[in-house]
Amino acid sequence: MYRERASRLAGAVVWANVPDEGGAGRVLPDGCMDLLWNEGRLLVAGPDTSAYIPEAAVGAWAGLRFAPGAAPAFLGLPAYELLDRRVDLSELWPASDVRRLRDRVARAADPGRALEEIALDGAAPADPLLVRLVEALDAGWPVAAVADELGLGARQLHRRSRAAFGYGPKTLARVLRMQRALALARAGVPLAATAVRAGYADQPHLSREVRALAGVPVTGLLR
């Protein structure tokens, strides 16, 4: 069973998941990165360009999903180094620091809250430029218009996006658009109307994009 709540860390989400017999499920691209706890391990989930399907659903999971673009400042490395990867935190930080944090989470009654507190201890203030970038792309602005609004050249915008999100602004826009569409469809909006409201040319365009990013038809995700 999966559950989540808003975090005290701006834009973040604290979540927990105890997979059922069907497995952990398909993790869709969302422009975010996560700090994870599972079976005594601290891990980091990098940004995804396509759906991630866990090989095995072992034990309970807890996580802190950072707001888009926020995790690199906390981790101290650009997002593209973790693109489509899940790595142990000890590969990124000194082993002694990770052992201390691992013990802290292991002692906690609520691992998700412990992850949240760790993130709050080390989080940097949100970068206003990245916040505006995500808001504009999520509102459906064209990438060129976003670059002009932010006062950045195309190369600068691409470089900043790769460091913050793992990929360029066009890919981020596709990911955010898919998430908008799924939210509308899950709320009961018909797929044809969902396509228009989310910014697709038509329903076939929506179907192609969801299949490309999620690996399954949109109807499969809604089931």
Write out the two tokens for 47. Answer: 């940004």
Query: What are the residue ranges spanned by the domains of the chain?
Result: 2-122, 128-222
SS3 3: strand
Average pLDDT rounded to a whole number, residues 23-41: 90
Pairing mode of beta strands 61-65, 13-17: antiparallel
Angle at CA 199, nearest 5°, toward 187 and 180? 35
pTM: 0.93
Q: Is the pLDDT of residue 23 over 70?
A: no
SS3 66: coil
CB contact at 8 A, 206 and 194: yes
What is the fold, at CATH topology level, of the domain defined by 128-222?
A: Arc Repressor Mutant, subunit A (1.10.10)
Tell me the average pLDDT of the chain.
94
Split at pLDDT 50, 70, 90, the class of 21 is low
Write out the two tokens for 147. Answer: 């670059």
CA dist 70 → 174, 175, 199 (Å)? 19, 17, 25
| pLDDT tens digits, one per residue of 114-160 | 999 999 999 889 999 999 999 999 999 999 999 999 999 999 999 99
